[in-house]
Amino acid sequence: MEDHRLEESPPEDGPDFYAAHLAEVNDTREVVSTQDIVNSRGVLLCRRGMRIDHEVADRLVRHKLVQPLENQVQIANSVDSSSLHAMLQQLLERMPDLRQTHENCAIDALCEEAFLRWPLPPVLTQKITVMQERMPKQLEKGVFCAWLALLTGRELALARDDLQALFTAALIHDMGFLHLDPQILSKKGALTPAEWRAIQSHVVVGKIVLESIDDMHPRTARAVLEHHERCDGTGYPTGRPEPQLDRLGQVVGLTDSAQSIRVHQFEPCGRNLRDLLPYLQMNSHTYFYDVYQAMHAVLNNSGLQPTVTHPDADVAAMAAEMLAKGRALHHIVAILRERNVPELAEDLRGKNRGGAVFRVANHLLDMTTRSGVVSDELCLWLESLRTQPDPAALMELNELQLMLNELHWQLNNATKAFNAFFDSSCAETSAEHAALKQIAAEVEACLQKIGG
């Protein structure tokens, strides 16, 4: 049995970059210490009432503090509930599909109550204020997720306390990023395994902050910690399976994925929120089934129609393009099947991160089998459309395109898991380790050829 204790522990001691963010905020809003700030050896670093400017921040970053910095500072003109509600309204105005969903699902009264009347502790309003100044896109993501979490939580008939805990978790689920190295967060190229682990630590940081707040609902901290966990054990930070996970974390995780797809994949090509249904279909076994059903119901009740991104598209050309990509992805999946990757990974399962490789490999094969997106039958259908195009197939081609994109993303994600395993066990020389490393290299090469 794998030991997850190291992965559940707080991040390794290192610089906490929150002070640097506070110094930047201090340029526009006064940030002052509310008490004497001392390090773990009792050395005074900042007197009560001092502004947290860049000089003070540089000093604070280099020391381990007795108390969390967020508990020892105050920001003037912090974001309030009215500002948060205004952010939601701006989001709904900018994204008409969200506005239509909002209206058709009759969620306005609940959103007003949540955004305007559900109280947030001062530490969280401080974090939200810093995010507004330093990471506005992340804050907008939190508002989006909080809105969608309310819709999903209501569909699940959550008790009011649990719905409030869910709302808070969704709103601030990424606040741990404020404590990480900005250079890693802004890196344009591929992340190293060590950098990827640093990114993953944001969920642990968020949990630690929330657990330090008096009277915070315990499920809020757990939801933040678990929002990247998945029922089949392919998530992080611990790779726990379904019986060990809480429903609220699953809701936050699904809203997080939905926001990322809607903004980064759909917005540039004019797709809408309902186009998430193929994603749900591909990933139905990775979330709690009732959470999957609730999100499915929200999308069906939105009143939105599936998008045909290119209504005048050349069906033959579109089919040929997807046939080429489908065959390439089919080849990758065949590599995983024919080389018995789950069996290889099973032999390495007891080693550090070996279980993650095992779970990811099984997830990929299970997902492709369930969806049929790389089946021989599908390839034959695309081949027939390439030679005898049928305009009536355009809607199906659009949905297939979404499913192939999701498989492509999942395969990219698998290479991260493989690389993290190799990085953590670089001294291994077993035949299984060598074989798996060769397979991972082949998969990565195939993905690069098709733009992955």
What would the pLDDT profile of 21-47 be if each residue is shown by its tens digit? 999 999 999 999 999 999 999 999 999
Residue 349 — pLDDT band, cuts 50, 70, 90? Answer: low
Q: What whole-number distance in Å separates Cα of residue 274 and Cα of residue 148?
A: 13
Measured CA to CA in angstroms, residue 37 lies from 12, 59, 213 at distances of 22, 11, 19
pLDDT, residue 1, reads 27
Per-residue model confidence (pLDDT) at position 48: 97
The residue ranking higher by pLDDT, 393 or 358, is 393
For residues 130 and 251, state if they share a domain.
Answer: yes
Residue 306 belongs to a domain: no
119/267 same-domain check: yes
Compute the distance between CA of residue 224 and CA of residue 249 in angstroms, rounded to an integer. 6
Percent of the chain with pLDDT over 90: 55
Whole domain around residue 351: which residue ranges?
A: 315-449
**Average pLDDT value for residue range 389-403:** 84
Residues 50 and 86 in one domain: no
C-alpha of 219 from chain center: 18
Same domain? For 217 and 342 the reply is no
Q: Which range is least confidently modeled, 123-132, 260-269, 379-388?
A: 379-388
Residue found under tokens 């994949």: 265
Do residue 293 and residue 367 come from a single domain?
no
Residue closest to 161 by CA, chosen among 221, 219, 222: 219
Residues 204 and 343 in one domain: no
Are residues 108 and 238 both part of a single domain? yes
| Mean pLDDT value across residues 208-236 | 93
The answer on 85 and 55 residing in a single domain is: no
Q: Return the residue matching tokens 């197939």.
A: 393
This prediction has a pTM of 0.84
417 and 269 within one domain: no
Domains: count for the chain: 3
Phi first, then psi: give them for residue 196, nearest 5 degrees.
-65, -40
End of a domain among 40, 57, 75?
Answer: 75
335 and 262 in a common domain: no
266-309 pLDDT tens trace: 998 889 999 999 888 888 888 999 999 999 999 999 999 988 77
Q: What is the pLDDT of residue 114?
A: 98
Instruction: Give residue 9's pLDDT.
Output: 40
